[in-house]
Amino acid sequence: MNDFIDELFATLQERKRNPTPNSYTASLLTAGEDEIVKKIGEEAVEVILAAKGQGDQRIVEETADLIYHLLVLLVSRGLGWDDIRAELKQRHQ
């Protein structure tokens, strides 16, 4: 999984450096942090709703949406997936 997350993160960074027309990621990054965090909030609520009766597949789908939008936030702030890994590792110790 880490390999795919790394690939996805690299793609998101590329969209920031070189926005392409019709790219949802580029449009989110252009819209700015307020729009990104709004989407994170919406997706977090959708994860909760899925967990409360929509089944495992919906939980997976909504969690994927939430993680994607969280990664977009990291890219917009110039943070990296490695920052998150390091934090989780530090907490585990």
Question: How many angstroms from the chain centroid is the CA of residue 78?
Answer: 13
Residue entry with tokens 């909760």 = 48
On the question of pLDDT at 1 being above 60, the answer is no
> pTM of the predicted model, to two decimals?
0.90
**pLDDT reported for residue 2:** 63
Domain locations in the chain as residue ranges: 2-92
**pLDDT reported for residue 33:** 96
What does the DSSP assignment read for the chain?
Answer: -HHHHHHHHHHHHHHHHS--TT-HHHHHHHH-HHHHHHHHHHHHHHHHHHHTTT-HHHHHHHHHHHHHHHHHHHHHHT--HHHHHHHHHHHH-
Considering the domain 2-92, what is its CATH architecture?
Orthogonal Bundle (1.10)
Residue-wise pLDDT tens digits, 25-63: 999 999 999 999 999 999 999 999 999 999 999 999 999
